[in-house]
Amino acid sequence: MRLRIGSAALLGLLMSVVSALAQTNSGIDKLYILNCGEGVAGDISRWSPGVDVGKSMPMAENCYLMHHAQGWLLWDTGITDAIAALPNGQAPSDPRAIHWYRPKTLAAELHAVGVKPSDVKYLAISHTHPDHIGNVEMFPEATLLVQKAEYEWPNPLGVGRFKPEHPVKKLEGDYDVFGDGTVTIISTPGHTPGHQSLLVKLPKAGAVVLSGDAVHFKSNWDNRRVPSINADKEQTVTSMQRIADALAKEKAQLWINHDKAQRDTLKMSPDFYE
Ligand SMILES: [Zn+2]
């Protein structure tokens, strides 16, 4: 009899552990894709040397806002909100690059889903090209999650890539943000020295890898093409393989940040993925 009571108690304890684990595993419950810019590339062979020379193409720029039981995380901040006020957008100095427009500000998009900049706990940044860090200082209290190699990458202007007073966690490799495996930064250097991508495991939609600029559009992914502007060609190829391995292991989808054709197939905020 005593043994039975003991078993029941043990079973109860096990049940509560299992339920706690289940809760931890579904720590992330929402992911919004925010329109963080729209553009037209003058010549997409910048990203595929010798291929599609002179071809122009629409480009997207996304930010991804996700809610976890431990707080909000924003992945990338897009082109600066200031571009929204320019009726003709921002023309690039190199006509082969991207002419950017901002149909909506990031501030307005956050407001539309009831999130204040001060609600954002983590600001994870794929890399420090201007179209990804345009609004970092809208979130002065959010902790930056950036690779040390990117943070310390010398800037041609001789200034830091982020304000020195901005809270930061400098990473050296992969990083499990919430400690439960639901949101994991994957180190994917090559496009820039400390470039990173993000693996997100959603309870219903399943696993997704957010590319950053590890690749710019699907045909370049399918053919493993390395843009001429990348910091390191060999690292880029290795990083693309790391992403391919993660996709296979996690049965994940690859969401390519700049791929407008793919974005057109996805649900945009205020709709969301669970
Ligand atoms: Zn880039």
pLDDT tens, residue by residue, 94-140: 999 999 999 999 999 999 999 999 999 999 999 999 999 999 999 99
Q: Ligand 1 centre from 191 Cα, in Å?
A: 7
Can you tell me the distance from the alpha carbon of 214 to that of 218, in angstroms, rounded to the nearest whole number? 11
Q: What is the dihedral of CA 109, 114, 117, 120, to 10 degrees?
A: -110
pLDDT greater than 70 at residue 4: no
Q: How many alpha carbons fall within 13 Å on the CB side of residue 237? A: 5
Which residues share a beta bridge with 254? 209
Q: Ligand 1 centre from 127 Cα, in Å?
A: 7
Indicate the DSSP class of residue 265.
T
Assigned token pair, 90: 């921002």
Q: Ligand 1 centre from 129 Cα, in Å?
A: 5
Which residues share a beta bridge with 39? 59, 100
Convert the pLDDT of each residue in 196-230 to its tens digit.
999 999 999 999 999 999 999 999 999 999 999 99
Taking residues 75-82, report their average pLDDT: 98
Can you tell me the distance from the alpha carbon of 176 to that of 190, in angstroms, rounded to the nearest whole number? 21
pLDDT greater than 50 at residue 22: no
Q: What is the dihedral of CA 235, 173, 193, 243, to 10 degrees?
A: 40
Can you tell me the distance from the alpha carbon of 101 to that of 168, in angstroms, rounded to the nearest whole number? 29
What value does the mean pLDDT of the chain take? 93
pLDDT greater than 60 at residue 270: yes
pLDDT greater than 90 at residue 7: no
Q: Ligand 1 centre from 132 Cα, in Å?
A: 7
Higher per-residue pLDDT: 166 or 158: 166
Q: Ligand 1 centre from 258 Cα, in Å?
A: 10
Indicate the DSSP class of residue 132.
H
What pLDDT does 210 receive?
98
What pLDDT does 23 receive?
47
- Residue 29: closest CA among 186, 271, 268, 204: 204
Q: Ligand 1 centre from 230 Cα, in Å?
A: 8
Banded model confidence at residue 17, pLDDT cuts 50, 70, 90:
low
Q: Ligand 1 centre from 192 Cα, in Å?
A: 7
The fraction of the chain above a pLDDT of 70, given in percent, is: 91
- Residue 229: closest CA among 149, 129, 148: 129
Q: Ligand 1 centre from 210 Cα, in Å?
A: 13
Q: Is 242 helix (H, G, I), strand (E, B) or coil?
A: helix
Q: Ligand 1 centre from 222 Cα, in Å?
A: 19
